[in-house]
Amino acid sequence: MNGNAAQQLDGDLQPGEGTSQYLTFRLGDEDYGVDILKVQEIKGWTEVTPMPNTPEAILGVINLRGSVVPVVDLRRHFGLAEVPRGPTTVIIVVRADDGKGSVRTIGVVVDSVSEVYNIPVSEVQPPPPAADGVCNAIAGLVTVDEEMIILLDIDNLMVNGVLGRLDEDPGEEPEQCAHNGESHEDQ
Amino acid sequence: MSMDLSEFLDVFLEECFEGLEVMESGLLNLDEGTDLEEINTIFRAAHSMKGGSAAFGFNHISEFTHVMETLLDQLRSGKRGVDRASVDLLLASVDVLRAMVEGLKSDERPDEEVVSDLTRRLQATIEALPDQAEEEAAGEKARPEETGAKNEEADSAESEAGEESGPPPADPPQAQDAPPSKPRLVKSSGARESSSIRVSIEKVDLLINLVGELVITQSMLNQVGEAILQRGGPEAESLLNGLAQLERNTRELQENVLQIRMLPISFAFNRFPRLVRDLSNKMGKKVELVLTGEQTEVDKTVLEKIGDPLVHLVRNALDHGLETPEARTAAGKPEKGRIELGAQHESGNIVIRISDDGAGLDREKILKKAVEKGLVNGREELSDERIDNLIFQPGFSTADRVSDLSGRGVGMDVVKRNINDLGGTVAIQSEPGKGSTVTIRLPLTLAILDGQLANVGEEIYILPLISIVESLQVRTGNLKSVAGAAELYRFRDEYIPIIRLNRLFGIRGGTDDLEKGLLVVVEAEGQHVGLFVDGLLGQQQVVIKSLETNFRQLQGLSGATILGDGRVALILDVPGLVRLFHETMNRPAAIAAVS
């Protein structure tokens, strides 16, 4: 995904009218985007302290300049195959609003970060119903450079999707959220 | 209200509450004797509330304070002597005012009737000021019926300070053995007058975080410095000297920054003079409350959470501990009971003692009740101390009748739990006929913990040092199993359950061979358990970080900390760990899944 996308930023960091800026990253062959306003920082892979009795997708906690921050493995959360962490593996630190007045700082492990795009809101397509099953985690789809980018709703993904699972029995990894697309028709 | 005003509103509210406290403690001091300075302080507090509330357009508050102010002005100018009736009236006004201010937050108004009734009474008192008219009549008109009976103390107070004495008490004054020379119950604390600034707690916590980071960076630098010293060179020595100095300064900085969160315990104590005064009036008991060590400093969070348990304990002392004046006289004790509330530092803890000179605990009754409730079997011989402390057991309450004061379903067990939650302990000593003393021991701060580092596989966990009884190597001869599953260890004369941390937490790489690791015997809620870990590392003070901020609480963990190498280590919550263990034992499927 290099170079000539129409919306790619060339030092012009001001998003235009009706556009949003998205940071894109890769998980295997899939491209994802998060609203850049939700991103606090990007940090290299660092050893994580595992926490007991938490879902598989939560790798543990790291020290982020004195704060204890949980780290989520998006591959595991989405049920993708595991890959060894390489030199491009990074932790995107996001600030997720739980809708109840508190903002949580959470680290998200991804294979690599790609670009920052200015994406006109009008070009964002609604997510297909089947994909929307991932706990309303998908805000929409957009095509840049002939490639599809899945735009994530990080608040929903983190607060309802990842942290929400903690209320369930940690003994069994619930999968219904990621795979119940067919039963999910109310949105 | 527009945004900018609402920003100031918080400050205004805070100042109001402070002002109310000043007024209340000032008024309580007036009970003891008239002091012009005290009246002035109260007056100033009322006056600034009046001004502030008028500026915000809270006319109901400013009007009410205005009436109070007029009465205070009469006291201040000496036109009216300080007597119990007007103090009572002003205290009641402070209550109404507090309700009004609290109502601002929730947009509620206190009962109009109460307000207007009190305003009427205030006004009647003010107008009844006997310029040259007969004081008798004035007193009758002014004094509201329910406060009328309470002015026994009026004469003992030095009401001569103002030339004329106020309305004479209706009842013949009873002898009161309060020597006017004794120390003030509520000293308007000097701390309040010293210059200070108001800073939000978030800023302080941010500072604490940053200093914690600095400590870690500094210890990393130390390691680098030592490596450089190995290689030698002329600069190595001076680098190391510099690092040593940095270390000293960093530690000092950390101590001082943590100190910012510390407040004198008087903030928790200052409600008691009023509470005791009201309760003793209501119950017809005579009580002298003595506060000591109010300047003892304690972490703000501890301070906020210790208030309710203390109220409960003081109520208990008043309700169950102290006898009625008649019973006291019959027992040859002074009619007036004594409750002491004291705080002091003892070896890195803060110790609060609540003692009364009442009847002491009724051990027979406690034991009977405990047997009834099945807390003890009644056959074994229990030490007096053990019996006394049964009152902290869940489901225990000795009060035969449910009174307004105690027995509201909040028992001593809740007090104990609250204190345990703060990482503290509570115990009671009692001597029949002489009284009881409740001793609360609390950590100075919730920000720092004395920890024992233990490793399981690759992971390091922190055990609170306070919960460790001892650690020992497992001797297979002492191992027993129950129903083939639960493992017990014979520790002295007890069989204690073994909790294998690696299995409970699903940690990979921990040793499974009991003989190769260590058994740390810990105490949780009066029960001993053996925690099996690979080994123990050092002991150190750790800065506690909440997991809840960005994540959530996890059972068995009280938080996390950052070690010298920058790694995060989890802090174990021993009682929670034991509960988690029992839950998983009842859920064998989950255990199989974990191991």
CB-nearest partner of B567 from A49, A69, A172: A49
Instruction: Tell me how far apart the terminal alpha carbons of chain A are, to the nearest angstrom.
Output: 31
Other Cβ atoms closer than 10 A to B177: 10
- pLDDT tens digits along A59-101: 999 998 878 999 999 998 888 888 888 889 999 999 998 877 7
CB contact under 8 A, A163 and B551: yes
Polymer length in residues for chain A:
187
Distances (CA, A) of B385 to B119, B343, B353, B427, B428: 52, 22, 17, 9, 8
Q: Is residue A97 in a domain? A: yes
Dist CA B381 CA B226 (whole Å) = 60
Q: Is B570 on the interface with A (CB under 8 A)?
A: yes
Give which of B167, B150, B170, B172 is closest to B79, Cα–Cα: B167
CATH code, domain carrying A34: 2.40.50.180
Q: Is A163 on the interface with B (CB under 8 A)?
A: yes
Q: Is A180 on the interface with B (CB under 8 A)?
A: no
Q: Is B547 on the interface with A (CB under 8 A)?
A: yes
- pLDDT tens digits along A126-178: 887 765 455 578 888 899 888 899 999 888 888 877 776 665 444 444 444 44
pLDDT at site B454: 95
Q: Is B566 on the interface with A (CB under 8 A)?
A: yes
Helix (H, G, I), strand (E, B) or coil at A34: strand
Q: Which of B568, B571, B584, B585 to mutate to test the interface with A (most CBs of A within 10 A)?
A: B568
B584 min Cα distance to partner chain A (Å): 10
CB contact under 8 A, B209 and A47: no
The CB-side HSE value for B301 (13 A sphere, CA atoms) comes to 16
Give which of B575, B592, B450, B480 is closest to B525, Cα–Cα: B575
Q: Are B295 and B191 in contact, with CB atoms under 8 Å apart?
A: yes
Q: Is residue A7 in a domain? A: no
- pLDDT tens digits along A95-139: 998 877 788 999 999 999 998 999 898 888 888 776 545 557 888
Element (H, E) at B207: helix B201-231
pLDDT at site A166: 61
Collect all residues of chain B within an 8 Å Cβ-Cβ radius of residue A68. Answer: 545-547, 549-551, 559-560, 562, 568
User: At residue A15, does pLDDT exceed 90?
Assistant: no
A23 min Cα distance to partner chain B (Å): 22
Per-residue pLDDT band for A41 (boundaries 50, 70, 90) equals: very high
Q: Is A50 on the interface with B (CB under 8 A)?
A: yes
Helix (H, G, I), strand (E, B) or coil at B154: helix
Q: Which long-range contacts (CB under 8 A, 24 or more apart) does A17-21 make?
A: A18/A120, A18/A121, A18/A122, A19/A118, A19/A119, A19/A120, A19/A121, A20/A118, A20/A119, A20/A121, A21/A116, A21/A117, A21/A118, A21/A119
Q: Give Cβ neighbours of residue A36 (< 8 Å, ≥ 6 apart).
A: A20, A21, A22, A23, A116
pLDDT at site B179: 42
Distances (CA, A) of A115 to A15, A94, B253, B283: 14, 16, 42, 75
CB contact under 8 A, A49 and B569: yes
Q: Is residue A123 in a domain? A: yes
Interface of B with A in 479-508 (CB under 8 A): 504-507
Domain that residue A162 falls in: 19-166
Q: Are B428 and B435 in contact, with CB atoms under 8 Å apart?
A: no
CB-nearest partner of B459 from A50, A62, A66: A50
Q: Is residue A176 in a domain? A: no
pLDDT at site B402: 41
B80 token code pair:
């009216």
Q: What is the CA radius of gyration of chain B?
A: 30
Give which of B122, B10, B116, B119 is closest to B75, Cα–Cα: B122
Nearest CA in chain B to A70: B551
Q: Are A71 and A61 in contact, with CB atoms under 8 Å apart?
A: yes
CB contact under 8 A, A51 and B557: yes
Element (H, E) at B382: none
Interface of B with A in 438-477 (CB under 8 A): 459
Dist CA B309 CA B332 (whole Å) = 32
Collect all residues of chain A within an 8 Å Cβ-Cβ radius of residue B560. Answer: 49, 61, 68
Q: Are B464 and B572 in contact, with CB atoms under 8 Å apart?
A: yes
Collect all residues of chain B within an 8 Å Cβ-Cβ radius of residue A61. Answer: 547, 551, 560, 568, 570
pLDDT at site A111: 92
Distances (CA, A) of B340 to A181, B317, B412, B438, B439: 67, 10, 19, 10, 12
B120 token code pair:
């009427």
Q: Is residue A157 in a domain? A: yes
The model's pTM is 0.59
Distances (CA, A) of B324 to B240, B262, B276: 69, 39, 15
Q: CA angle at residue B92 from B86 to B94, to 5 degrees? A: 105
The B435-443 sheet, strands edge to edge: B287-292, B337-346, B349-356, B435-443, B425-431
Q: Are B104 and B59 in contact, with CB atoms under 8 Å apart?
A: no
Q: Is residue A6 in a domain? A: no
Q: Is A166 on the interface with B (CB under 8 A)?
A: yes
CB-nearest partner of A66 from B505, B562, B594: B562
Other Cβ atoms closer than 10 A to B157: 24
| Average pLDDT, consecutive stretches of 10 residues, N- to C-terminus, chain B (595 residues) | 62 83 82 74 84 81 85 81 81 86 77 82 78 43 42 41 42 42 42 68 84 78 81 81 88 86 88 88 88 89 87 87 88 90 83 90 83 76 80 66 44 81 84 90 78 92 90 88 80 88 87 89 84 90 83 87 86 88 71 44
Domain count for chain A, please give it. 1
CB-nearest partner of B570 from A49, A63, A169: A49
- Token match 């700082």: residue? A105
CB contact under 8 A, A68 and B507: no
CB contact under 8 A, A67 and B549: yes
Q: Is residue A178 in a domain? A: no
Q: Is residue A179 in a domain? A: no
Q: Which of B205, B213, B550 to mutate to test the interface with A (most CBs of A within 10 A)?
A: B550
Collect all residues of chain A within an 8 Å Cβ-Cβ radius of residue B568. Answer: 49, 60-63, 68
